């Protein structure tokens, strides 16, 4: 058999040598053609691999972009989801600013909230003896027109009161176009993006209070007497529990203005008028009594631009403790409900 494989094929190939298919292909390719097909094959594989990698990279980038743009609706609230609260007839929110002889702070506050896209109207609760000057009115109206970034300019209005009374901040307002009220002190600035996110949170639970300043009530015992203790920010931070959000920076439904003024026990109104304090605790108790649910604390940076207020007074904590216990006795029970939940805008948080 080996003899047949190695037989001379001089008469067939004319070169007088041993026949070999490999030798024949090499002779036909020439000296430089020997590597050409192999090189071409490698180049084709390399180019094909690069194309494959480019296509894979394109799909990965596209998928990442689509995922990032859709993750908010999948994982939580959709800020753009239409609801009855944010329908065109009720769109946005009304900013209700409580002020007292701090026109410089009021100017800053109105200018800022006029620039927020969700602001439909700005109402200033004015409880000074003298009405706001025409100069101040004109300045604020021009500022609203200048700062507003929407085609619909927020309506600015002063709600005038004949006496200085903290209950004034929760009087019913006629002709409101929104269900949402954002109650805020004249020295508190909430960035627009944070404020608009809080509004979307409120839209998911429009009957509760949604705000930025959490507080807590604690059951305490002293000399065999059980009573409630008002817990400030540090107790909330330490325990991670709260049952109130203060109306110095909070959303609530406009119907609570009516309930506060006309349905809440008059003895509580008298108490707030006499003590010049605790109207925010009274509102928290009112909403909790109506809903049986806790408020919602929204995580977000807020800025207090004022120098001081009643919270800076030495006996402030004692007065708040007394308010809380006196109000609970008037209700006949503790309506506040505590919670550990906090609303966080996951689009801007690495850890949440």
Distance, CA of 97 to CA of 126 (rounded, Å): 9
- The residues that bridge with 97 in the sheet, in sequence order, are 124, 184
Written as six digits, the tokens of 326 are 């006196």
Query: Distance between CA 140 and CA 188 in Å, rounded?
Result: 17
Taking the C-alpha atoms of residue 133 and residue 124, their distance in angstroms, rounded to an integer, is 13
| Pairing status of strand 225-231 against strand 119-126 | unpaired
Look at residues 244, 229, 234, 254 and name the one whose alpha carbon lies nearest to residue 282.
Answer: 244
Considering 280, 315, 326, 345, which one is annotated as catalytic? Answer: 280
Contact call for residues 125 and 159 (beta carbons, < 8 A)? yes
185 included as an active-site residue: no
Bridge partners of 226?
A: 221
Residue with tokens 């007394």: 322
Is the CA virtual torsion 281, 336, 214, 107 positive or negative? negative
CA angle 285–287–289, rounded 5-degree value: 65
Query: In which residue are the tokens 């009516």 written?
Result: 258
Measure CA of the first residue to CA of the last residue in the chain; give whole Å. 80
What's the angle, vertex CA 31, arms to CA 25 and CA 34, rounded to 5?
50
Q: How far is Cα 330 from Cα 309, in angstroms, rounded to an integer?
A: 27
Catalytic residues: 280
């Amino acid at each position: 058999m080996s003899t047949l494989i190695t037989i001379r094929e001089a008469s067939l190939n004319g070169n007088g040598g041993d026949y070999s298919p490999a030798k024949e292909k090499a002779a036909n390719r020439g000296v430089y053609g020997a590597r050409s097909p192999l090189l071409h094959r490698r180049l084709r594989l390399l180019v094909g691999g690069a194309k494959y990698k480019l296509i894979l990279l394109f799909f990965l980038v596209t998928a990442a972009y689509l995922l990032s743009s859709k993750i908010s609706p999948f994982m939580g609230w959709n800020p753009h989801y239409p609801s009855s609260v944010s329908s065109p007839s009720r769109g946005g929110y009304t900013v209700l600013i409580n002020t007292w002889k701090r026109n410089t702070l009021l100017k800053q506050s109105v200018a800022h909230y006029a620039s927020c896209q969700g602001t439909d109207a700005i109402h200033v609760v004015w409880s000074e003896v003298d009405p706001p000057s025409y100069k101040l009115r004109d300045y604020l109206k021009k500022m609203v027109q200048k700062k507003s970034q929407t085609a619909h300019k927020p309506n600015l209005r002063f709600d005038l009161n004949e006496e200085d009374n903290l209950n004034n901040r929760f009087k019913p307002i006629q002709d409101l176009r929104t269900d949402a009220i954002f109650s805020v002190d004249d020295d508190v600035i909430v960035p627009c993006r944070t404020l608009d996110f809080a509004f979307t949170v409120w839209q998911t639970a429009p009957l509760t209070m949604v705000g930025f300043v959490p507080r807590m009530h604690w059951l305490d015992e002293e000399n065999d007497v059980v009573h409630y203790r008002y817990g400030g920010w540090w107790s909330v931070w330490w325990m991670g529990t709260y049952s109130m959000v203060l109306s110095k920076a909070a959303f609530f439904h406009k119907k609570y203005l009516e309930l506060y003024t006309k349905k809440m026990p008059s003895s509580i109104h008298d108490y707030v008028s006499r003590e010049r304090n605790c109207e925010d605790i009274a509102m928290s108790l009112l909403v909790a009594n109506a809903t049986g649910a806790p408020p919602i604390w929204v995580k977000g940076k807020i800025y207090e631009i004022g120098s001081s207020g009643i919270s800076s007074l030495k006996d402030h904590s004692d007065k708040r403790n007394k308010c809380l216990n006196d109000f609970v006795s008037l209700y006949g029970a503790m309506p506040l409900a505590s919670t550990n939940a906090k609303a966080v805008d996951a689009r801007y948080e690495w850890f949440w």
